A and B are shown apart, each in its own frame.
Chain A
Amino acid sequence: MEDEARRIAEEIVSEYRRQLESVRFEKDQVKNLVQDAIGKLTDSFNGLRSSSDEQLGLVTGLTSSMQDDDGGEDGSDKKINIRGFVSETDKILKTFVNHIILVSRQSMEMVHRIDDLSSQMAEIVELLNDINAIAEQTNVLSLNARIVAARAGQAGEAFSVVASEVRKLARNSHEFSDRINGVVRNSKKNIESAKGIVEIMASKDMSFAIEAKGRVDEMMAEVSEIDRFTAETIHKVTGVADQISNQVGVAVMSMQFEDMVTQLSESMEKKIHVLENFSQAMDPDILFGDGLTAVDRMQRLEQVLEGQRAGFNAVDRGAVQQSSMDEGDIELF
């Protein structure tokens, strides 16, 4: 009877120890699984946050490259963007208009000079007419001189020779001025045709400039509208990214229950340890040893119970009381 009880007791203790080992193993497994999952989740959330930040960076970079005003100014940053293109077009248009006006101004100045030249030519013609009038008077005079010489007969012959020489001079002078007149007439024709060419250079219809300017202004307005829309979009994207960041923060913070799990696991380990002690205290030799009275056994059992209680109490005092993170401050962990 005694031996039978001792054998059963030994079996109980042995089974009890085995179960304790199993509990310890599963507890460790839970702990490992939780730690592993927390690690992966934290990595994943942090990855999400950095992806969101990267996305925001890309959007901001993309739109700022579209808006970059000073892109071509310093020459170091030759980014092509719409605003830059439009303002460059505007600049080219202005240069073109200025050029046309400059050409017109210079052409008109040339026309003034040509007109001055024409009036000087007219003065030359006037002078030539005067020369012709003088030549004509000389001609009449020489003719009259010859008439007088003819009346003088032989005596007038020398006089007549002089008179006809004078007449030749008058005729030469007339021919000469006629030739000058011809040259002047040709020059006038050339001047008129030069003036025609200058007219073509000077006269440009300006409506093209107005139309082009209008289109550039329209484009400018459109670019401003795009800029406004872009700024709005960036603002929204930034808002969304901030939200993601905040939520990821909350999630990562939530992942810190790992510490609690560790503490609970340690507490469980201690309790398992206490239970192991109990199994040792419950050594069948202590209860079933030779010559032990019933009172002795009672006393030994009470001692074991007391020891066990004390062990559990010690473990409980150091254990975490919280069951939810919401109930306490995270700083406590």
Chain B
Amino acid sequence: MSGTISVERSDKETVINIKGRFNFEMHSQFRTAYQEDTSKGQKGRKFVIDLSGTEYIDSSALGMLLLLREEAGTNESDIEIINAKPEIRKILETANFQRLFKIS
């Protein structure tokens, strides 16, 4: 059982919506979701990771988020993680992600 990912793109922003379980099996879907934007080398694009429908997250998901941050260009783009459920938010905070991402 794994989740599904949907993407909404506008001029400046890519919103990646993750539903269900955000684990290893999602890696292809997740990478495909942002690769189109990052491979162009376009700077200053904003990524929003919407976790409102995410039920579970494991360390591989944390690894994927870190890779997104690197591939999007750490300083040029800002990445915002929104609507995380309390349990998932706790994991993000334990991982010290509030220092690397905007969590709201």
Contacts and interface: CB of A to CB of B under 8 A. Distances in A.
Given A101-B66, A109-B67, A115-B28, A206 B94 contact: yes
Interface stretch (A159-167, A196-204, A257-265, A283-291): A196-204
A235 interface: no
Nearest to A110: B63
Contacts of B24: 111, 199, 202-203
Interface in A93-140: 94, 97-98, 100-101, 103-109, 111-112, 115
A52 B41 CA distance: 75
A3 interface: no
Contacts of A109: 63, 67
A105 B66 contact: yes
B67 A210 contact: no
B75 interface: no
Contacts of A101: 59, 62-63, 66, 95
Interface residues of A, number: 25
A101, A108, A115, A203, most chain B CB atoms within 10 A? A108
Nearest to B56: A205
Given A101-B66, A108-B27, A199 B60 contact: yes
B63 A202 contact: yes
Contact of B31 (A94, A97, A103, A112): A112
Interface string B45-75: 0000000000001111011101100000000
A102 to B, nearest CB: 8
A112 B67 contact: yes
Chief secondary structure at chain B's binding surface: helix
A108 B91 CA distance: 18
Contacts of B85: none
A108 B95 contact: no
A180 interface: no
Contacts of A209: 91, 94-95
A115 B24 CA distance: 13
A271 interface: no
Interface in A205-219: 205-207, 209-210, 213
Contacts of B87: 210
Given A97-B94, A108-B27, A213-B94, A206 B67 contact: no
Contacts of B31: 112, 115
Interface in A60-110: 94, 97-98, 100-101, 103-109
A206 B27 contact: no
A303 B95 CA distance: 113
B104 interface: no
Nearest to A106: B63
B68 to A, nearest CB: 10
Nearest to B27: A111
A107 B94 contact: no
A97 B63 contact: no
A97 B67 contact: no
Contacts of B23: 203
B9 interface: no
Contacts of A104: 59-60, 62-63
Sorted nearest first, the 5 A-B pairs with minimum C-beta distance are A104-B63, A108-B63, A202-B60, A105-B63, A104-B59
Given A106-B63, A205-B59, A213-B90, 17 more contacts: A98-B95, A100-B59, A101-B95, A104-B60, A104-B62, A108-B27, A108-B63, A111-B24, A202-B59, A202-B63, A203-B60, A204-B59, A204-B60, A206-B57, A206-B62, A209-B95, A210-B94
